[in-house]
Chain A
Amino acid sequence: MGRRGLALAAIAAGLVVVVLAQRLAPLAGPPLYDGVPLVEPYVWLSPPPGQPGGAQPAHDTETDMSGGFGVFTAEQPPQAQILIDPGILDIPDGTTSVTVSVTPVPPPALLPADGAITGNVYDIEATDQNGAPIAIAAGSQVTVVIRGPAGLSSARIEVYAGGQWTAVETDPVGVPDMYTTIVGELGEFALVKPGAGAPAVQPTPSPAATSAASAGTAASGGPVESPAGSRAASPAPGPTTRSSLPASVLSTSSGSGGAPALPWSQIAAVAIGALVVLAAGFVLLRPVKPPAD
């Protein structure tokens, strides 16, 4: 095969792969290939000292149920968003309108056992004109995107539904601290920094809570309850008052709630390493005649 034949074959194969990749593996990612991500500071529901507050809900109400939904919070980029393709919701007969909402809420009493919630918890739900919940159709999925506070080196999305937290497959979006997942249920979504060993919510516990904590639920890897002023940890019927803990105590593993310290030593090491490699490259790669173009 000649050079031009190979070129045509490569272009044709590439176009086929592009189409297949976006049809068969529609994980939400950058629209195309790259860009320069730009991010506003994170907005908290209950801000830590020195951090901006005012996280706002967002919703979209449609009377034409044949379309899809795309609901984004107002920050740039949005701190929470949900994308629902047409026909994904299991809409009962008699429904005249559907509202999809994304609402920042205080964390539930039961916290993830496998890490620390980082940032706001967002309650994402679909309801009909009477406020009754609408579920996702069996076998269907929606895309959820959550952005966390600055400095997340890694995190995963977990969803709180049915009285428990479930970690879901998570991918970075390409914007700092922004992650996406495709899920088959709605609920309360949060970014969880894994491996923290214990949740970041560690207020001064009440005596009762102290005794509960001493039972070792965290150490055993079981569910961890927020100890004070929280809503019922179990899914049993009862008051649904949310934790009185300010969201400001939900932060990165440092638990300080402020911006994490930059690892300047790592950055310096990488920069020095890059300079060494560049210097070595300068020696190895002599200037040569440029190619065509």
Chain B
Amino acid sequence: MLVSVRAMTAGSIHPMGGAGRRAAAASRAAAASRALATLVLLAAAVTLRWQIFTTQALGGLAEGSLFGLSLLAVAWLGGIRPAAPRAASLAAGAAAGGALVALSLLARWPSQPLALGHVAPFLPWIAVTVLVATAEELVLRGSLWRWTAEAGGDLVALLATSLLFALIHVPVYGWSVVPLDLGVGLVFGGLRLWFGGPAAPAAAHVLADLATWWL
């Protein structure tokens, strides 16, 4: 081992032998295929939501529930399993979510926010909003991040999931929200990187979405 390390330092031998390189390449390819499959599943869930949204085949709560459950299924298929989050992750995520809400208000001041209205009981709305926000994070910063990072590294995962975060909102909100959601995706990605899991970005996302009830 010592010899190998010295040899690698000298640059005379590749860190891994031919078999090791082949194994690493195969692992990356497998991760890339999983990332691609997760992406296809995510696209299917977004398309389903878009169809329901445009046709109004279901009400807002039912639409959100179906979308959230679809995403949970995608996250499950992508390898995510229930696990207790660390308190530090949740606390940091909540702080980041609060900061984003405050920043959003300050950046728009003195413009007034739109009146989007709510026609649903508060608690069911909270439940569905938490479901959708959490499920989005479990897919994007959970399974998709993991496979993308394994295939291409953290930077690729950060950029890919941030871009996807912006794009999945386009069918409902239009292209105008892409810059904002891209920035938010970077923040969520940074939280994912720092804490090593989707709990922190999920907490931030949930808090930011819940704020829309009052804003």
A residues engaging B (CB < 8 A)? 3-4, 6-23, 25-40, 68, 70, 72, 75-78, 81, 83, 85-86, 143, 145, 150-153, 171-178, 180, 262-264, 266-267, 270-271, 273-274, 277-278, 280-282, 284-285, 287-293
Contacts and interface: CB of A to CB of B under 8 A. Distances in A.
B209 A32 contact: yes
Contacts of B196: 291-293
B52 interface: yes
Contacts of B179: 17, 20-21, 25
A281 B184 contact: no
A31 B212 contact: yes
B54 A29 contact: no
28 contacts: A7-B190, A7-B192, A14-B162, A14-B190, A17-B183, A18-B183, A18-B187, A25-B176, A29-B180, A30-B177, A31-B113, A31-B215, A32-B212, A34-B212, A36-B120, A36-B128, A36-B132, A70-B112, A145-B114, A153-B55, A267-B55, A271-B48, A273-B44, A277-B40, A278-B41, A278-B77, A293-B199, A293-B200
A111 to B, nearest CB: 25
A136 to B, nearest CB: 15
A83 B199 CA distance: 37
A28 B187 contact: no
Nearest to A23: B107
Interface string B125-159: 10011001100100000100010000000110010
Interface size class of B (residues with CB under 8 A): 35 or more
A221 to B, nearest CB: 27
Interface in B99-137: 99-101, 103-104, 107-108, 110-120, 125, 128-129, 132-133, 136
Given A14-B185, A32-B211, A33-B184, A278 B44 contact: yes
Interface stretch (B3-11, B16-24, B58-66): B58-66
A198 to B, nearest CB: 23
A36 B61 contact: yes
Contacts of B169: 33-34, 174
- Of A10, A68, A175, most buried by chain B (CB within 10 Å of CB) is A10
Contacts of B205: 33-34
B154 A3 contact: yes
Interface of B: 33-34, 37-38, 40-41, 44-45, 47-48, 51-57, 59-61, 63-64, 70, 73-74, 77-83, 85-86, 89, 96, 99-101, 103-104, 107-108, 110-120, 125, 128-129, 132-133, 136, 142, 146, 154-155, 158, 162, 169, 172-177, 179-200, 205, 208-209, 211-212, 215
A52 to B, nearest CB: 14
A134 to B, nearest CB: 19
Nearest to A275: B44
Contacts of A277: 40-41, 44
B57 A285 contact: no
Nearest to B194: A7
Nearest to A285: B77
Contacts of A22: 104, 107-108, 180
Contacts of A31: 104, 113-114, 116, 211-212, 215
